[in-house]
Amino acid sequence: MTRLKIVHRTGFQYASPATASYNEARMLPRTQDRQLVLQARVDTSPATHPSTYNDYWGTPVTAFEVLTPHQQLSVVATSIVETRTIVTGGPSVDWEHLADAVSTSLDVAEMLIQTDATDPDDQMREIATAIRGEHEDVDGAARAICTIVGEAMTYRRGVTAVNSTARDAWPARAGVCQDIAHVTLGMLRAAGVPARYVSGYLHPDADPQVGVTVVGESHAWVEWFSGAWRGYDPTNLVEIGPSHVFVGVGRDYSDITPLRGVYAGSGASDMFVTVDITRLE
């Protein structure tokens, strides 16, 4: 077990005071097979009275509004999570059994649908089709796609923007984890593999020191379905392990944006983000 404390600070600085804002935060981990959430809370400044619910994909959402003029909106999500490495049980399924699962499960079938963010170009489709033809099992094809994308693309900031798509990132062979996940999803779905976008956090050290706070990051990886949902981090070419903290899933980044909102005001806004991660034990 690895116990991690995550402090995720984000928000908006307004050029002129916003008279009101309406916001949703998806920043809190949830307990699942790889992790146990011991503490999770969201604090805002100005102070609000948030409501909480789970969205369509099961992700915890903190919704809140600020109805007084404010120059800045600050949101701080603090979580303490115990993580562990588990081996996903069960053998991979073949393509025939996957087709049966898709036909009987809406949750699985929905993750075969391309979105604007994941829609592949012709080369991506050709690669995905070729890889599918080389593998009799779904896991083999999915891992091959993750490896090809992860090895071909370089993690580099400034190449893409928050609204960039797989068609933007793949020709550049560069982007951030969001872009690499979108490209991977596009190829997986083009190969006929149901796949979903995972949002979470990543400690940058594989074996972090206890008590040392480091600059972490919001992170993205993928899961594909082959009898069960199986995760992989194509950006770092690694299995999902105790340094990964799961927040939620969606079809792409737009389903699981950490903070989104609208505001009433005449000025522009700038977003700020920091993530601090500490291994507690």
**Domain assignments of the chain as residue spans, ordered by start:** 2-84+257-279, 95-207+217-254
CATH class of 95-207+217-254: alpha beta
What digits encode the pLDDT tens for the residues 162-183? 899 999 999 999 999 999 999 9
Residue 168 is encoded by which pair of tokens? 């933007």
- Residue 33, Cβ neighbours under 10 Å: how many? 11
- Residue 25, Cβ neighbours under 10 Å: how many? 25
Alpha helices in the chain (DSSP H): 95-104, 106-110, 122-134, 138-152, 166-172, 177-190
Three-state DSSP state, 126: helix
Q: Give the per-residue pLDDT at 261.
A: 92
What digits encode the pLDDT tens for the residues 107-127? 999 999 999 999 999 999 999
Q: Give the per-residue pLDDT at 88.
A: 64
2-84+257-279: CATH topology: Immunoglobulin-like (2.60.40)
Q: Give the per-residue pLDDT at 90.
A: 66
What digits encode the pLDDT tens for the residues 235-260? 999 999 999 999 999 999 999 999 99
Mean pLDDT (the chain, rounded)? 94
Q: What is the number of alpha carbons within 13 Å of residue 30 lying toward its C-beta? A: 17
Residue 131 is encoded by which pair of tokens? 């890889």
Three-state DSSP state, 168: helix
What digits encode the pLDDT tens for the residues 169-218? 999 999 999 999 999 999 999 999 999 999 999 999 888 889 999 998 89
Residue 267: pLDDT over 90 = no
Give the integer Cα–Cα distance in Å for 90 and 88: 7
Give the integer Cα–Cα distance in Å for 91 and 266: 57
Q: Which residue in 152, 190, 200, 195 sits closest to 8, CA to CA?
A: 200
Q: Which residue in 174, 173, 178, 185 sits closest to 163, CA to CA?
A: 178
Q: Is the peptide bond before 46 cis (omega within 30 degrees of 0)?
A: yes
Give the integer Cα–Cα distance in Å for 102 and 46: 46
Q: Give the per-residue pLDDT at 249.
A: 97
> Average pLDDT for residues 55-61, to the nearest whole number?
94
> Average pLDDT for residues 222-238, to the nearest whole number?
96
Q: Which residue in 197, 177, 200 sits closest to 186, CA to CA?
A: 197
Which residue carries 């770092």 as its tokens? 236
Residue, of 265 and 278, whose pLDDT is higher: 278
Give the integer Cα–Cα distance in Å for 111 and 193: 8
Q: Tell me how far the alpha carbon of residue 26 is from its chain's centroid.
A: 10
Q: Which residue in 45, 63, 65, 44 sits closest to 53, CA to CA?
A: 63
